[in-house]
Structure 1
């Protein structure tokens, strides 16, 4: 698995040259991640907050979790000891959502040496490894930013790929939200026309990412498309499908604003049902 590392691997390689990042979060309880980190975390881990560090100010368009100011994000990474040659391992509770968002953002700004702890902190604990409440002190490093535009899709690009034979739009939300039966967060329910539902949690099995064989079977209908656009509600859980696709060599783009951006345009069409 090229984007994932095990708890055993992290335990054996967690040294001063590596930066471990805690990205635990809960959309319903914003303080959960930071509170959990301060209580206990993997040794040498720094904390990145979903709302304060991994997202910017919400505006009329752009969705609920737009990108932060990238210069400010760069400075935060540098202050955490992340430089051009730094190996970074990110984790959350094991659902991979927070970790995948951070992984995607580092890849987007051109830092390729980033990996996700498969199974998250839960697997670390299950493996019998110790936690700490100590806050590490990191030496400031220098980090270049080289934006990879091929990883992101705009709302215009999504519009152009609706009902195209060589394109697929993947909706990563739950089937009920996709069909428009429920919408617990956003103001409108339904899905983007022609989007197909691949619930992000379906790439997980026993609290870990499925192996490559199972992922290839899960996404076998996706591989035939030339243009693959992934989205979710606000650009977080869609990153899980993005990572899973990358694991099996399928390149996709993330519609970062996702459903919450799509519905901010009154003229964008909305579908319901299957």
Structure 2
């Protein structure tokens, strides 16, 4: 059985115990402290997990105009996955300690390069530890490279800033911004040099997808929440740099909703062009 949205701790433990070949990606990260995620990985990770660094592995190089975490080159990302041992058709499970905030980016990227067998660990590393399951420390040992190759994308084509700008005029799609409400409203913060949001966007803070225990809310609850926000329109997902927007994409997939389109550059790319309009407030 392949998992393509979420996987429970119980199911992951069972398939690992059965000897299934699973590539586990530990995606722990912290904005402003780029080394902290790797330190967290060394301190404790799921057995056999390999570390995926947001800046180095799950993004391409920023140039000041393309956002903080532009998409990596498809060829480069596929090569990195092969180096982690990924085989064609192999199950991938991404996890972190932040409710899936970073793991969802890995999930979306794998689907973007045509790999369907990828899921996020529901409840994350905390749920694994809470179940009393073993953890490992230190660095990952060398592995035999896999034979994975990129295929046709399994997600709609990402949007450019120009396309998002055009949508402001037409209103054909609804932009959902995954940042926290204070950043969306435009309150001063240390992350956004220009505060606010894309005109016409609505706020869907990614953490609203989670229950109190850190697991994803039930599918029917997620479906109702997104349908209310979208009002029948297709979704365009944005955030600060195209990362936590993927959490909303994962939640929509888990709820069985139509696939949204991602604006990878998101707010950090949008504000790099002073000609782009900026809105503040709750709407």
Report TM bin, short chain.
over 0.9
**C-alpha deviations, 1:220-255, integer Å up to 9, x for none?**
224543431000001111111111111122210110
1:194 Cα offset (Å)? 0.5
Are 1:255 and 2:241 an aligned pair?
Answer: no
Q: Which residue of 2 aligns with 1:122?
A: 126
Aligned-residue Cα RMSD (Å) equals: 1.7
Unpaired runs of at least 5, structure 2: none
Are 1:177 and 2:183 an aligned pair?
Answer: yes
Q: In the comparison of the two structures, how many residue pairs are matched?
A: 274
Are 1:99 and 2:86 an aligned pair?
Answer: no
Listed as ranges, the matches of 1:7-46 within 5 Å are 7-14=9-16, 15=19, 17-46=21-50
1:246 alignment partner, one of 250, 253, 259: 253
1:151 Cα offset (Å)? 4.2
Q: Which residue of 2 aligns with 1:212?
A: 219
CA distance in 1, matches of 2:227, 2:48: 39
Q: Which residue of 2 aligns with 1:197?
A: 203
Listed as ranges, the matches of 1:122-201 within 5 Å are 122-133=126-137, 135-148=140-153, 150-201=156-207
Q: Secondary structure of 2:228's match? A: coil
Q: Secondary structure of 1:90's match? A: strand
CA distance in 2, matches of 1:7, 1:136: 23
CA 1:2 to 1:70, structure 2 compared with 1: closer, same or farther past 3 Å? closer
CA 1:249 to 1:160, structure 2 compared with 1: closer, same or farther past 3 Å? farther
Listed as ranges, the matches of 1:17-96 within 5 Å are 17-96=21-100
Regions of 4+ moved over 6 Å: none
1:260 Cα offset (Å)? 0.3
CA distance in 2, matches of 1:242, 1:222: 14
Q: Secondary structure of 2:10's match? A: helix
Contact 1:163–1:193 (CA under 8 A) maintained in structure 2: no
Q: Secondary structure of 1:116's match? A: strand
CA distance in 1, matches of 2:272, 2:151: 29
1:147 Cα offset (Å)? 4.4
CA distance in 1, matches of 2:62, 2:8: 35
1:153 Cα offset (Å)? 1.2
1:177 Cα offset (Å)? 0.9
**C-alpha deviations, 1:48-99, integer Å up to 9, x for none?**
1111111121113210001223322211100111122111011001411110
TM-score under structure 1 length normalisation: 0.94
CA distance in 1, matches of 2:125, 2:268: 29
**C-alpha deviations, 1:120-139, integer Å up to 9, x for none?**
11000000101012624422
Contact 1:42–1:132 (CA under 8 A) maintained in structure 2: yes
CA distance in 2, matches of 1:8, 1:168: 36
**C-alpha deviations, 1:110-166, integer Å up to 9, x for none?**
001001000111000000101012624422112221242614111121112115354
Contact 1:167–1:225 (CA under 8 A) maintained in structure 2: no
